[in-house]
């Protein structure tokens, strides 16, 4: 864990803390530096809304512009088409990849902010079935490969000496 981020409306009581990896923290810091430079350049024209992503003058970005820009970045990064709701699609992509990577359902549920693990299980049952199948195959592979190693080695047939014939 490299750091934590809090999410949610700053005016609301409910806040969610999430761990962030070092690369994400570095990107957010670089973004904040650029944002502060824009703020200085805009001077009194800057409108501080306490948002992470804004226009150069601090004003909120329109949802349409934000979605278009995000779609371009996602496409360039090789992500699947996440329309019609790109951020929600990204959320589903995260959950699916996390479950496929073996992140426990409880952790995925918590990171998504679901009120209950049952919500996550219902929404991603197609993934959990795949993960379940993969888990069964992985364990079976270990069992069957171990059972081959644990078996007694086959014994070579005992040598029987040819009968000795005595000549006198």
How far apart CA 12 and CA 15 sit, in angstroms, is: 7
Categorise residue 131: left if φ over 0, alpha if ψ from -120 to 50, beta otherwise.
Answer: alpha
Domain-embedded: residue 157: no
Residues 57 and 103 in one domain: no
- Is pLDDT at 55 greater than 80 in this prediction? yes
Tell me, yes or no, whether 100 and 144 share the same domain: yes
Q: Which residue has the higher pLDDT, 18 or 83?
A: 18
16-20/3-7 β-pairing: antiparallel
> Is the backbone of residue 78 left (phi > 0), alpha (psi -120 to 50) or beta?
left
Q: What is the C-alpha separation between 54 and 77, in angstroms, rounded?
A: 22
| Claim to verify: residue 101 and residue 50 sit in the same structural domain | no
- Whether 46 and 96 map to the same domain: the answer is no
Show the domain range for 48: 1-6+14-61
- Same domain? For 98 and 56 the reply is no
**Helix/strand/coil (H/E/C) assignment for every residue in 88-113:** HHHHHHHHHHHHHCCCCHHHHHHHHC
Same domain (yes/no): 92, 143: yes
Q: What pLDDT, on a 0 to 100 scale, did the predictor assign at position 111?
A: 93
pLDDT the model gives residue 91? 87
**Residues 96 and 134 occupy one common structural domain:** yes
Instruction: Let me know whether 54 and 94 are in one domain.
Output: no
Query: What is the band of 5 on the pLDDT scale with cuts at 50, 70, 90?
Result: very low
Residue bearing the bigger pLDDT, 155 or 127: 127
Tens of pLDDT, residue by residue over 100-137, are 888 999 999 999 999 999 999 998 888 878 888 888 99
Shared domain check, 108 and 144: yes
> Tell me, what's the pLDDT at 134?
85
- The model's confidence at residue 46, banded by pLDDT at 50, 70 and 90, is very high
Give yes or no: residues 91 and 41 share one domain: no
Residue 123 lies in a domain: yes
Q: What is the pLDDT of residues 78-89, one digit of tens each?
A: 877 777 777 788
Domain count, the chain: 2
């Amino acid at each position: 864990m490299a750091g934590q981020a809090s999410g949610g409306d700053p005016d609301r009581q409910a806040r969610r803390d999430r761990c962030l990896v070092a690369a994400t923290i570095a990107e957010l810091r670089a973004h904040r530096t650029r944002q502060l430079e824009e703020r200085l350049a805009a001077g009194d024209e800057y409108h501080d809304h306490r948002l992470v992503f804004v226009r150069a003058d601090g004003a909120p970005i329109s949802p349409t512009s934000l979605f278009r820009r995000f779609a371009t970045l996602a496409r360039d990064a090789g992500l699947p088409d996440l329309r019609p709701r790109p951020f929600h699609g990204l959320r589903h992509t995260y959950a699916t990849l996390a479950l496929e990577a073996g992140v426990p359902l409880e952790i995925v549920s918590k990171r998504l902010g679901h009120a209950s693990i049952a919500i996550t299980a219902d929404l991603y049952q197609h993934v959990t079935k795949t993960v379940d199948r993969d888990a069964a195959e992985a364990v079976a592979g270990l069992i069957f490969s171990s059972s081959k190693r644990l078996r007694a080695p086959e014994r070579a047939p005992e040598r029987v000496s040819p009968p000795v014939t005595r000549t006198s």
